[in-house]
C-alpha cells in the first residue's frame, strides 16, 4: 500500500489523535509479535485505516493503556490493551506489503529492487504463515497481481487498470466482517478506496512515468503530454471515486472512531489528493482550503 | 424493533428540537437522492425507513399516543427504470434486481450495429455499479450525444458530473447542492427540501 489514506492532523481533536496513534501502535505491536521486527517496518497508514475500521465495526470494547515502544522508549504511547483483535489486520498487512514487494522486484531497477528482493527473501516464511491464516486473501492478492501485470501490457483504461488493486482492497475489507449486509457495504467501500489508491499512485507518478515510458493509465501516449490537463482529468476521477467511497462508508454501523475515520476519508484523503493534483500549491494553502 | 432513541443516537432526555435535528442529520446521510443507481441503494432505503419509523415512534410517544408521525415517507420507490418495456427490458429488470454482472453479459452480447443510445446508457449504468466510474461517464456521455433530449440519460449524466468535485456527497454539506443540480436537470424537487 502507498500511505495515501491518512489523517489530516490539524482537524482531529487531541483525543482522536491520541487514539489514532494508539491504533497504529497496536497494529505495529501485533505485527511484531506475529511476524517479527522486519515486518513492522512495512506497516503503512493505509493499514492503520483498516485497523481503525476493524475496531470501529467490532462489538468488543476497545480499551487503551499506556505502554513503551522499543523503538522510542522515552515516550509513552497509548496501545490497545487487548490488541489480538488486530491479528487479522496484521495478516492482511503482511500479505499486501509482500505482494507489493514482489511487484517492486518485478518492475523497479537499481538499489530499490535489491532492497525489495532482500526483504522478500527475509519475509518468505512470514508470508507463508500469513497465507495459511488467510488463504482466500492470499489467493486473491496473487491473482490480482498477475492481472495487474497483464493489464499493464495492454494499455488499459483507468478503470481496467485500477480493477486489480480495487478488487484486492475489496477482498481485504470484506474479510473484516462476517455479516452479509456489512460485507456488501465493505465490498463497495473497498473497491472504491482501492481504486482511489491506485489512481492516486498513477497521478502522483505522471511525470516520472512519462519520462521513463512506464505504463500509466492517465497517459495517452502523446509526445509532450499536457500535465496540468492530465492532472485535471485525474482530479475528476479521484473526486468521483472518493465521493463514492464516502457514500458507502455512510451506510456502515460505526460503533466508535467515527471522527477519525471521517477525518481520514473526507479530509485527509482530499488533502492528499489536492497535493498530488496541484503540485504547484503549497501544503499550507491546501490545509487552509480543506477546512 | 430497536429502541427508537438508539436509532437516532439521542438520549431519552433529549428535547424535541434535538431529536428533530438528529433525525434531519440522519435523513440527509441516508437520503435516497444520494444513492440513486447505487448498488447499495436498497440498504440506504432500509436505513431511511428505520429512522423514519424511529422518529414517528418518538413523536407518537411524546404526544401521548395521539397524532401521526411527521417522518418523511417520501415518494421514493428505489430504482425507477421503465422495466417491462422497450428493447432492453430484461437488462433493466436485472439492474433493478442488482444483478449487474448478468446485465453486462446480456449487453455485451449485443452486436456493435445494435448499440443505440439506450445501450450506452445501460452499459454506463452497469459500469457505474461495478465501480468503473470513468468508463461509465464515457458511456453516458455517448448516450446523451446520440439522444440529447432524453431526460433519463441527461439526469444520470448530471449526477455523474456532479460527483466529480470535492465534497459532493459529504454529509455535512447539506442537501442544497444536490437539489440545485436536480433542479437544473428539470427535476421536480418537492420531496427533498422540507
DSSP state of A123: T
**Is the Cβ pair B40, A240 closer than 8 Å?**
no
Residues of B in contact with A243 (CB under 8 A): 163, 167-169
Nearest CA in chain B to A241: B133
pLDDT digits (tens, 9 = 90+) for B97-112: 888 889 999 999 888 8
Owning domain of residue A171: 9-290
Count of CA atoms in the C-beta half-sphere (13 A) of B100: 16
Residues of B in contact with A267 (CB under 8 A): none
Nearby residues of A18 by Cβ (< 8 Å), 6 or more positions away: A64, A78
Gap between the Cα atoms of A106 and A124, Å rounded? 16
Nearby residues of A231 by Cβ (< 8 Å), 6 or more positions away: A203, A206, A276, A277, A278, A279
Gap between the Cα atoms of B133 and B36, Å rounded? 15
A266 lies within 8 A of chain B by CB: yes
Give the burial class of A60: count Cβ atoms within 10 A of its Cβ; 0-12 exposed, 13-18 middle, 19 or more buried: exposed
Gap between the Cα atoms of A45 and A8, Å rounded? 12
The alpha carbons of chain B give a radius of gyration, in whole angstroms, of 19
Contact B29, A250 (CB under 8 A): yes
Nearest to B144 by CA among B99, B102, B185, B88: B185
Contact A168, A140 (CB under 8 A): yes
Contact B135, B123 (CB under 8 A): no
pLDDT at B183: 39
Whether residue A4 lies inside any domain: the answer is no
Residue percentage of chain B with pLDDT more than 70: 74
Gap between the Cα atoms of A130 and A95, Å rounded? 7
Q: Tell me the pLDDT of chain A (291 aa) as tens digits.
A: 578 999 999 999 999 999 999 999 889 888 988 998 888 888 889 999 999 999 999 888 888 888 887 777 777 888 877 777 888 999 999 999 998 888 888 877 888 888 888 998 898 889 988 889 999 999 999 899 888 888 888 878 889 899 999 999 999 999 999 999 999 999 999 999 999 999 999 999 888 888 888 888 888 777 778 888 889 889 999 999 999 999 999 999 999 999 999 999 999 999 999 888 888 776 555 555 554
Nearest to B165 by CA among B178, B175, B156: B178
**Is the Cβ pair B44, A236 closer than 8 Å?**
no
Residues of A in contact with B137 (CB under 8 A): 240
Q: State the average pLDDT over residues B161-171.
A: 72
The grid cell for A180 is 452479509
A247 lies within 8 A of chain B by CB: yes
DSSP state of A1: -
- Give A68 to chain B, closest Cα distance, Å: 36
- Residue corresponding to grid cell 446521510: B29
Gap between the Cα atoms of A149 and A161, Å rounded? 9
pLDDT at B168: 62
The model's pTM is 0.86
Contact A105, A118 (CB under 8 A): no
pLDDT band at B96 (very low <50, low <70, confident <90, very high): confident
B12 lies within 8 A of chain A by CB: no
pLDDT digits (tens, 9 = 90+) for B52-88: 999 998 988 888 754 444 444 443 444 444 444 578 8
Whether residue A2 lies inside any domain: the answer is no
First to last CA, chain A: 27
Domains held by chain A: number? 1
B47 lies within 8 A of chain A by CB: yes
Gap between the Cα atoms of B79 and A7, Å rounded? 36
Whether residue A233 lies inside any domain: the answer is yes
Give the burial class of B177: count Cβ atoms within 10 A of its Cβ; 0-12 exposed, 13-18 middle, 19 or more buried: middle
Q: Looking only at Cα atoms, what is the longest distance across chain B? A: 66
SS3 A82: coil
- Give A237 to chain B, closest Cα distance, Å: 7
Gap between the Cα atoms of B147 and B150, Å rounded? 6
B140 lies within 8 A of chain A by CB: no
Query: Interior CA angle at A239 toward A238 and A243, to 5°?
Result: 120
The neighbouring-strand residues paired with A69 are: A72
Please report, for the domain that includes residue A165, its CATH number: 1.10.600.10
Nearest CA in chain B to A186: B40
Contact B81, B118 (CB under 8 A): no
Contact A192, A166 (CB under 8 A): yes
- Give the residue from A179, A240, A270 with the most B CB atoms within 10 Å of its CB, the best one to mutate: A240
**Counting one residue from A and one from B, how many pairs have CB atoms under 8 Å apart?**
71
Reported as type and span, the H/E element at residue A243 is helix A227-249
Q: Inform me whether the pLDDT recorded for B137 exceeds 90.
A: yes
Whether residue A212 lies inside any domain: the answer is yes
Whether residue A274 lies inside any domain: the answer is yes
pLDDT at B73: 47
Phi, psi of A80 (to 5 degrees): -65, 135
Output the DSSP codes for B92-143: HHHHHTT-HHHHHHHHHTS-GGG--HHHHHHHHHHHHHHT-HHHHHHHHHHH
Whether residue A96 lies inside any domain: the answer is yes
- Residue corresponding to grid cell 473526486: A239
Whether residue A154 lies inside any domain: the answer is yes
Measured CA distances, A85 to A51, A56, A88, A89, B43 (Å): 9, 11, 7, 8, 27
Nearby residues of B24 by Cβ (< 8 Å), 6 or more positions away: none
DSSP state of A12: S
- Lowest-pLDDT choice from A34-43, A103-112, B24-33, B167-176: B167-176
Phi, psi of A78 (to 5 degrees): -70, 155
Query: Interior CA angle at A256 toward A250 and A262, to 5°?
Result: 45
Whether residue A1 lies inside any domain: the answer is no
Residues of B in contact with A241 (CB under 8 A): 133
pLDDT at A12: 93
Gap between the Cα atoms of A216 and A161, Å rounded? 9
**Is the Cβ pair B134, A159 closer than 8 Å?**
yes
Measured CA distances, A182 to A58, A96, A178 (Å): 12, 22, 8
**Is the Cβ pair A239, B166 closer than 8 Å?**
yes
Contact B189, B179 (CB under 8 A): yes
Amino acid at each position: 500500500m502507498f500511505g495515501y489514506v491518512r489523517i489530516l492532523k490539524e482537524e482531529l481533536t487531541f483525543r482522536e489523535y491520541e487514539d489514532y496513534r494508539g491504533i497504529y501502535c497496536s497494529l505495529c505491536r501485533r505485527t511484531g509479535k506475529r511476524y517479527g521486527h522486519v515486518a513492522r517496518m512495512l506497516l503503512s497508514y493505509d493499514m492503520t485505516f483498516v485497523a481503525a475500521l476493524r475496531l470501529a465495526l467490532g462489538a468488543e470494547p476497545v480499551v487503551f493503556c499506556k505502554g513503551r515502544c522499543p523503538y522510542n522508549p522515552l515516550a509513552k504511547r497509548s496501545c490497545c490493551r487487548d490488541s489480538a483483535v488486530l491479528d487479522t489486520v496484521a495478516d492482511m498487512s503482511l500479505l499486501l506489503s509482500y505482494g507489493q514487494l514482489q511487484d517492486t522486484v518485478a518492475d523497479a531497477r537499481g538499489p530499490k529492487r535489491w532492497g525489495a528482493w532482500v526483504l522478500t527473501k527475509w519475509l518468505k516464511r512470514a508470508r507463508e504463515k500469513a497465507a495459511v491464516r488467510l488463504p482466500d486473501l492470499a489467493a486473491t492478492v496473487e491473482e490480482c497481481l498477475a492481472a495487474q501485470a497483464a493489464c499493464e501490457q495492454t494499455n488499459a483504461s483507468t478503470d481496467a487498470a485500477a480493477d486489480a488493486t480495487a478488487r484486492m482492497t475489496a477482498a481485504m475489507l470484506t474479510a473484516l466482517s462476517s455479516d452479509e449486509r456489512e460485507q456488501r457495504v465493505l465490498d463497495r467501500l473497498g473497491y472504491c478506496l482501492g481504486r482511489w489508491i491506485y489512481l492516486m499512485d498513477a497521478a502522483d507518478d505522471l511525470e516520472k512515468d512519462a519520462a521513463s515510458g512506464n505504463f500509466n493509465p492517465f497517459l495517452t501516449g502523446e509526445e509532450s503530454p499536457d500535465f496540468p490537463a492530465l492532472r485535471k482529468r485525474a482530479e475528476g476521477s479521484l473526486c468521483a471515486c472518493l465521493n463514492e467511497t464516502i457514500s458507502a462508508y455512510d451506510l456502515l454501523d460505526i460503533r466508535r472512531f467515527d471522527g477519525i475515520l471521517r477525518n481520514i476519508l473526507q479530509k485527509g484523503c482530499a488533502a492528499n489528493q489536492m497535493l498530488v493534483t496541484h503540485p504547484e500549491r503549497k501544503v499550507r494553502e491546501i490545509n487552509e482550503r480543506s477546512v | 424493533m430497536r429502541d427508537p432513541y438508539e436509532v437516532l443516537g439521542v438520549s431519552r432526555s433529549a428535547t424535541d428540537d434535538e431529536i428533530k435535528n438528529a433525525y434531519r442529520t440522519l435523513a440527509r446521510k441516508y437520503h435516497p437522492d444520494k444513492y440513486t443507481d447505487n448498488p447499495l441503494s436498497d440498504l440506504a432505503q432500509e436505513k431511511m425507513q428505520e429512522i423514519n419509523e424511529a422518529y414517528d415512534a418518538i413523536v407518537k410517544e411524546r404526544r401521548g399516543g395521539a397524532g401521526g408521525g411527521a417522518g418523511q415517507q417520501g415518494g421514493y420507490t428505489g430504482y425507477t427504470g421503465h422495466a417491462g418495456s422497450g428493447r432492453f427490458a430484461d437488462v433493466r429488470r436485472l439492474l433493478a434486481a442488482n444483478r449487474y454482472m448478468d446485465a453486462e453479459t446480456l449487453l455485451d452480447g449485443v452486436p456493435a450495429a445494435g448499440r443505440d443510445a439506450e445501450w450506452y446508457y445501460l452499459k454506463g449504468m452497469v459500469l457505474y455499479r461495478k465501480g468503473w466510474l470513468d468508463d461509465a461517464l464515457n458511456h453516458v456521455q455517448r448516450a446523451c450525444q446520440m439522444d440529447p433530449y432524453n431526460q433519463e440519460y441527461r439526469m444520470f449524466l448530471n449526477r455523474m458530473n456532479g460527483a466529480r468535485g470535492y465534497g459532493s456527497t459529504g454529509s455535512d454539506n447539506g442537501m442544497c447542492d444536490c437539489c440545485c443540480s436536480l433542479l437544473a436537470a428539470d427535476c421536480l424537487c418537492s420531496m427533498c427540501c422540507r
